[in-house]
Chain A
Amino acid sequence: EVQLVQSGAEVKKPGESLKISCEGSGYNFLTYWIAWVRQMPGKGLEYMGIIYPGDSDTRYSPSFQGQVAISADKSINTAYLQWSSLKASDTAMYYCARRGFCTGGYCYEDYWAQGTLVTVSS
């Protein structure tokens, strides 16, 4: 059974660093892109970026380039989303998802994790 499980909720102060994780199981983690999606409180969805764990090829949405870092450790089937200095505006639910449904050269998310709520407050 394909599963993606994210790390638990975090409460941080502005300026602190944070790394959240997304562990995949039940499939070959190395051969599917993983996407990270942000959802701010009461707001819509936003793609942050994607990573191919097999070779760590990473692509960022323009709005998030330089704001976060996406990485993966293929030895433990885990992808990460990292901030070096959090802001209050980073408060949001963050989802990782497998882009496993591919057709015509484009891929879409077929499995999602439960999400990680990040709260940044002084």
Chain B
Amino acid sequence: QSALTQPASVSGSPGESITISCTGASSDVGSYNLVSWYQQHPGKAPKLMLYEVSKRPSGVSNRFSGFKTGNTASLTISGLQAEDEADYYCCSKAGSSTFSYVFGTGTKVSVL
């Protein structure tokens, strides 16, 4: 299982929109609509931001949205805010075994 590929860093100014890509393979992202996204602030535990590609858990801002095309999923943050500065990780089911998931390499989002 290879990690999903994300850009190392993405930056934007407050109020702008940014998109983070997450590229996998036909055996993971391409096969399942089970892509989730986690936000991790420095020194903190991760937080679930999106699940099943584009669904938001209760309490997550609607500024966060997601979609998937083929083997690539994406997370878009609209109306970028200072508090959005964090690391973001995608995660996908990868294979039919009962517990087989792969995370992305992670993307550092900077708010300029």
Contact = CB atoms under 8 A, between A and B. Distances in A.
A63 B45 CA distance: 22
Given A59-B99, A61-B99, A62-B100, A44 B45 contact: no
Interface in B1-19: 1, 3
Given A47-B99, A59-B99, A103 B1 contact: no
Contacts of B40: 45
A95 B51 contact: no
A114 B45 contact: yes
A10 interface: no
Interface of A: 37, 43-47, 49-50, 59-63, 95, 97, 101, 103-104, 106, 108-110, 112-115
Interface of B: 1, 3, 34, 36, 38, 40, 45-48, 51-52, 55, 57, 89, 91, 93, 97-101, 103-106
